[in-house]
Amino acid sequence: MTATILIDGLPAAADDLHYLALVNYAAVTSFRVEDGGVRGLDLHLARLHASAIEMFGLAVEEERLRDLMERALSGRKDAWLRVSLFSPFIWARLPSDRVRPKVMTAVAPPPPPLADSVRLQSQTYVRDAAHLKHTATFPLIRARRLAQDAGFDDALFADEAGLISEGSLWNIGFVRGGRIVWPKAPMLSGVAQALIQRGLSEQGLSSETRPVHLGDIAAFDGAFLCNSATPVCPITAIDDAVFAIDRSILDRLARAWASQSPQAIAARDDDEAVSSLGR
């Protein structure tokens, strides 16, 4: 997938690319742009703010982020946009600077969903700094590779006690009757997960977040994964446990996600911003 890359709104300089090729320390979020808007943009912006404070000591102003996103899109109304925060002043030997990070934007055509359905292999692993969406992707790619080599589609992570957290690139939800169960464990809270959660009650569904272990999964009626590129995808098996696909539940989950309208990237005045907070 070819992407158009800008750094702080300008073509990438050689020094920045040199740093990015050698140092894997950055915060990131990515999402689909639909007719110039983004579902859950408020959540993506909050993620970037919190990550910047934790990883760099200083945040990038929201107005600047919005401006750089618009500049990167250059009038495109439908695209995939990845926003990364990094600083060439932070290296393995010099990790302690407190600095406002640079902003890298990468724009590409929207990718297709991950799959129509998936079979998962459980693997013992917990992501480093699991609450952050960062660029340390070696373990994630390796996990998917190992799962596919073993005849599965993807990997589901659990700790040594079997406590389920998340998948390689996505969150997981379990279904029992009309109730969605989200695992409680160290993990990245996904934007697609939050958007589904916001719309569940309108679809007559309820939810809870609690610890789920690999030994518990046989008690569920079904399971699904979700991320920004794949709002809802049924899971047909986890290791030897097989799930039926309930299309009615999946359709309701998809409608819960779709009920959260795209938010405009362009900065709004205070009155408009206040009027949009009625949820």
- The predicted model gives 10-24 an average pLDDT of 94
3-state DSSP assignment of residue 14: helix
In this structure, CATH architecture of domain 118-258: Alpha-Beta Barrel (3.20)
pLDDT value, residue 241:
97
pLDDT value at 275 more than 80:
no
Share of the chain above pLDDT 70, in %: 95
pLDDT value, residue 1:
60
The encoded tokens of residue 139 equal 């373990």
pLDDT value at 277 more than 50:
no
- DSSP code, position 41: H
Where in the chain are the domains? 4-108, 118-258
- The predicted model gives 181-185 an average pLDDT of 98
Distance of CA 212 to the CA centre of its chain: 21
Domains 4-108 and 118-258 fall in the same CATH topology: no
The dihedral through the CA atoms of 240, 154, 248, 206 has a sign that is positive
Q: What span, in angstroms and rounded, lies between the C-alpha atoms of 229 and 278? A: 26
Q: Which fold has domain 4-108?
A: D-amino Acid Aminotransferase; Chain A, domain 1 (3.30.470)
Q: Where are the alpha helices (DSSP H) in the chain?
A: 14-22, 41-56, 62-73, 138-149, 191-199, 247-258, 270-275
Return all residues near 246 (Cβ < 8 A) that are at least 6 apart: 175, 221, 222
The encoded tokens of residue 34 equal 């639909």
pLDDT value, residue 268:
58
What confidence category does residue 278 fall into, taking pLDDT thresholds of 50, 70 and 90? very low
Return all residues near 173 (Cβ < 8 A) that are at least 6 apart: 180, 181, 182, 193, 196, 223, 224, 225, 226, 253
Q: Are 78 and 35 in contact (CB under 8 A)?
A: yes
Give the chain's mean pLDDT: 94
Q: Which of 79, 99, 78 is nearest to 90 (CA)?
A: 99
Tens of pLDDT along 92-118?
A: 999 999 999 999 999 999 999 999 999
